[in-house]
Amino acid sequence: MAVRTDRTVLRDRIGHEFADPALLAQALTHRSAGTPHNERLEFLGDGVVNLFVAEALYQRWPTADEGVLTRARAELVREASLAAIARNLELGERLTLGPGELKSGGFRRDSILADALEAVVAAIYLDAGYEACRRVVLPWFEQALAALPAGRPEKDAKTRLQEWLQARQRPLPAYELVSESGEDHAKVFVSRCTLNEPPVSADGQGTSRRLAEQAAAAAVLDRLEPSPRHP
């Protein structure tokens, strides 16, 4: 029976055999572990991922306007979405982390996983070029792409609240961080959304500040209208 090495397993999960394995090693090295680390690759990968996703949406939704396409891309490339793909590829188990990040569970943290995924995309791009990288990477997003309502991705709560206020010529909301608790790899944030006109405020909780603000905005919308999603 053939023995499957860690490199073979990772190759099969990613779907690419690296001509230069050092690129993959760098992509999976967090800055806490020293140099060379993956921050420069992450920068490049962010641009490549955005281009691939934008191109896919542009081709799939020929009648969607810029706003719809922008919201859909934001949903697909947000930190939590990229981290979910990284987990599916089992990147966390293969990250090289410094002692502090390793002890605090950095291999489970969304931000580190999302950055590693973007770095891996850049590594594939540098190793094999645009077309080969696109063939490897786009299938990672297929499930999320298929799950989007065709041409009409739902607006997030902060956007819906802003539009509700602007339509009535009311001041925009203010958001503030109320509390932050928990270990680095399992933080809980509480944010408050406050309106001056009408005078309404509500708190929301989430695993990131952004998600907490979204929850707070959704709670305010629930107070403003019984069915805010269907104005």
Residues annotated as catalytic are 46, 118
The HSE-up count of residue 44 (CA atoms within 13 Å, CB side) is: 16
How far is residue 208 from each of residues 45, 179, 186, 188, 196, measured CA to CA in Å?
A: 22, 11, 9, 7, 25
CB-based burial label for 167 (10 Å; 0-12, 13-18, 19+): exposed
C-alpha closest to that of 122 among 14, 9, 10: 14
C-alpha closest to that of 134 among 60, 40, 142: 142
Give every strand in the sheet of 188-195, ordered side by side: 174-181, 188-195, 200-206
How many whole angstroms separate alpha carbon 128 and alpha carbon 146? 27
- Residue 73 CB partners (closer than 8 Å, separation 6+): 50, 53, 54, 57
Burial 171-210 (b: 16+ CB within 10 A, else e): eebebeeeeeeeeeeeeebbbbbebeeeeebbbbebebeb
How many whole angstroms separate alpha carbon 164 and alpha carbon 33? 47
